[in-house]
Structure 1
């Protein structure tokens, strides 16, 4: 997760000068605007924030769909986006730690974590937290509450809009939570096992009673060694897991190797680190979670 950190910090010094000069050289008076200009790290947070902001203000994100948040390498335009924004919302839980440290060197834009208050689940064999709290709706409600508290303080005039939008969105998340609990009942207790390349569903598993495992703990630790394949294949056989899954953002060949060694099929693709592209049916956080649950149910019931 922290590779290229030294290079990025070095680059940030150059970008600091670039951002600073362009800000000072501006001769056009700042125009009054309604609402905030918000930047966030990746598409999932973009969707959450958009549901609360509505038409008041703008929100955009840095990490393109299809790229790994754990390993993304910023480009100069990313720093400009952060510098031009009122606030930079991040996931926290160590996901963007390297990006935050570099950004803080080039701009004084506030960096705010939306996962504060989520009970962290540690990575196996590591002091860091697993960052994938957004994969469980219960945690997303915490994200929304943190967002509302911060955004109302920044834009009090928009409080009524933000609170109304947040209330409606939280209701959708609560309905999603109830729907997941119903769907999980279709899977026999002993078959509630989610296995894929990255062990990303820890928070989901905790909230909906699934055992989860992966070739590696997090994609920045990606290796795909014979020992890792063999370990996972043995777990699949011991637990009689009926199927495994692949991620939309990870090379499928890793899980294809595991499925062959374990003698089970790959039941389908799930979304973890990004929403789906337009036309995928998983273009929002709620849609992507529903897609994931449907794939789990079909593969494991």
Structure 2
């Protein structure tokens, strides 16, 4: 009889959803103390704790690190040698796309102003820009970008897709990032959902923002460091551009940062994936990884340390 699969989970809630499973021994480990075993076949780190917590794996024999996030910026710098790292593709795309769409509607239709007006009993029924008929540029066409597109099209928007390289699919052309400055002036809304890598760090800089037309809306559901905060503040504080951002740099945004009080800027506190949809999808992903390992098959979503690297 083979030894049971050793799986560590960051909290009791996830353990209760997964256990008991034949052939698997579970542990609860939130990385705050020593590892529960010298060998762990699957480790699920705590959510939103940052890559630095992975240093706790240094003295443990690890089969797979299964992240609860899509992004994995900074992980390669701290992941112990020999570890295989999988992201949570398939878990957060729907929720992040919902938030992106909600932020677009809120910004376009003035929901943030209406909330403030409600506190003072101000009746301002001036006309606002629609989402319908807007030209939307998706800068980033991975899982999140595709989920955003699927939700935008029923709202009768005109969507342009942009990825790292130009290509065609069944829906037509996907522009390459080399067309960025040709496309930005043609669009009313730019939605950024790229991963944070060296090439995308501060992609949304003064040049990017200057290329957007007056009154345009920037939506950032990527990572805070994808945008230059000072450049964003400079453009929005004049009222030339508007912004809806779920991520900031720094993060959390300091309480006295002027971006908080800039008219036309809507800020949510990095909650793109933080919805009721996350937990059951995370459970299904861990169940899938356990099933694959029990069958001797390769895990899915591997982004570091495996064949996908």
Shorter-chain TM range is 0.3 to 0.5
User: Would you tell me which structure has more strand in proportion to its own residues?
Assistant: 2
Q: Normalized against structure 1, the TM-score is what?
A: 0.36
Work out which of the two has the higher radius of gyration on C-alpha atoms and give 1 or 2: 2
Q: Normalized against structure 2, the TM-score is what?
A: 0.35
